[in-house]
Amino acid sequence: MSDHIFDNPNLRFKDYIPSGKTTWQSPSNIALVKYWGKKPVQIPMNPSISFTLKNSYTETTVEYKPAENGFDLQFFFEGKRNETFEDKTKKFFKNIISVFPFINQLTFTIRSKNSFPHSAGIASSASGMSALALALCDIENTHFNTLKADNDFFKKASYVARLGSGSASRSVYGGLTVWGKSEFIPGSSNLYAVAVTDYVHPDFLQYRDTILLVDSSEKKVSSRAGHALMKTNIFAKVRFEQAKQNLKRLMDIMKAGDRQAFVKQVESEALTLHAMMMTSTPYYLLIKPNTLQIINKIFEFRNDTKIPVCFTLDAGPNVHLLYGRYDEEAVNRFISLEIKPFLSKKGVIQDYVGKGPEKK
Ligand code: PMV
């Protein structure tokens, strides 16, 4: 690891090795300024900001007991042993041994489930990795009493979550979160996220995110491969610069509560993310015809009604529809009248800006 701020050789059990169990529910998030491109180890090329969601979460129980033959782990996803998640989690745990040396003294049984339908096309790495990071910090705190202040606990959880999946670093706080160093955000860091909820107009903390499910098939190019392709994208340098400026602009817009300006900034970011995919070598497309149909319908609806509803996209074809609480009725009508024909069988997921993870 290139950054050692949380390495701690003292976190080893001495006299006895305990057993126990902890459960965390941690939400997904949707970025408004996107993280796309990184350098080792999980250092973002630009700062990003996201809304933490409420209804789309992963709930993970981590059970631990003394290891008889060194560290081991079993992973059950939605009740069934899952070898893909097991291998991924083993790799993740081995990678953070210097942060939590006690991992080597334990065997783990991990049971995890998502609130959103399986393979709905919703990325579960942010919610899944943050839930695991929170559980590990909780084990540390229970037995070593080292993370008593909330501030220390969540900072470390965000740092650890980041090592599992970059965007997961932003899920440990509710509301609005920034990950990545920005001269405009006090306390911001490339190593962990910070909450910026207190700086913005309260209207944004009541925002809705209706996730319009267009296509749930597995994507052909993973986010990991997508980040890597930014290394050779000829637009990368200006993109990273633009994202830095966009974060500053969006923060100013959100402080002022300017919902019309918010629309322009957020949609431009979403389209730029996909433009980066289209201009990578090799190039690729994750949006589908129905993604574009929906986007055009949103443009028309906004033009006709002047309601500041906007879309954003993550690395996939599904559309996140963002709007304020008082526009809920009009937007729901719009979805049932105009958007339904372009949705997959899975329909929509109704979500909101949430308050962050919870210990169960
Ligand atoms: O955290 P990762 O490696 O899954 O990358 C997330 C990338 C985007 O969702 C497209 C953008 C973001 O900032 O969340």
pLDDT in tens, 173-217: 999 999 999 999 999 999 999 999 999 999 999 999 999 999 878
pLDDT (mean) for 18-31: 98
Taking only the tens place, the pLDDT of each residue in 208-241 is: 999 999 987 878 899 999 999 999 999 999 999 9
Q: Is pLDDT at 1 greater than 70 in this prediction?
A: no
Confirm or reject: Cβ of 166 under 6 Å from ligand 1.
Answer: yes
State the Cα–Cα distance between residues 78 and 234, nearest whole angstrom: 42
The whole model's pTM is what? 0.97
Q: How many CA atoms lie within 13 A of 77 on its CB side?
A: 16
Segments making up each domain of the chain, as ranges:
20-201, 206-352
Confirm or reject: Cβ of 318 under 6 Å from ligand 1.
Answer: no
Pocket of ligand 1, candidates 167, 250, 271: which has the most ligand atoms within 8 Å of its Cβ, to mutate?
A: 167
Pairing of strands 72-77, 106-114: parallel
Confirm or reject: Cβ of 302 under 6 Å from ligand 1.
Answer: no
Backbone angles phi, psi at 275, to 5 degrees: -65, -35
At 120, the pLDDT band (50, 70, 90 cuts) reads: low
State the Cα–Cα distance between residues 21 and 135, nearest whole angstrom: 9
State what percent of residues in the chain have pLDDT above 90: 92
Least confident of 1-10, 103-112, 222-231, 287-296: 1-10
Confirm or reject: Cβ of 46 under 6 Å from ligand 1.
Answer: no
- Domain 206-352 belongs to what architecture? 2-Layer Sandwich (3.30)
Of 3.40.50.720, 1.20.140.10, 4.10.1240.10, 3.30.230.10, the CATH number of 20-201 is 3.30.230.10
Q: How far is the CA of 16 from the centre of ligand 1 (A)?
A: 40
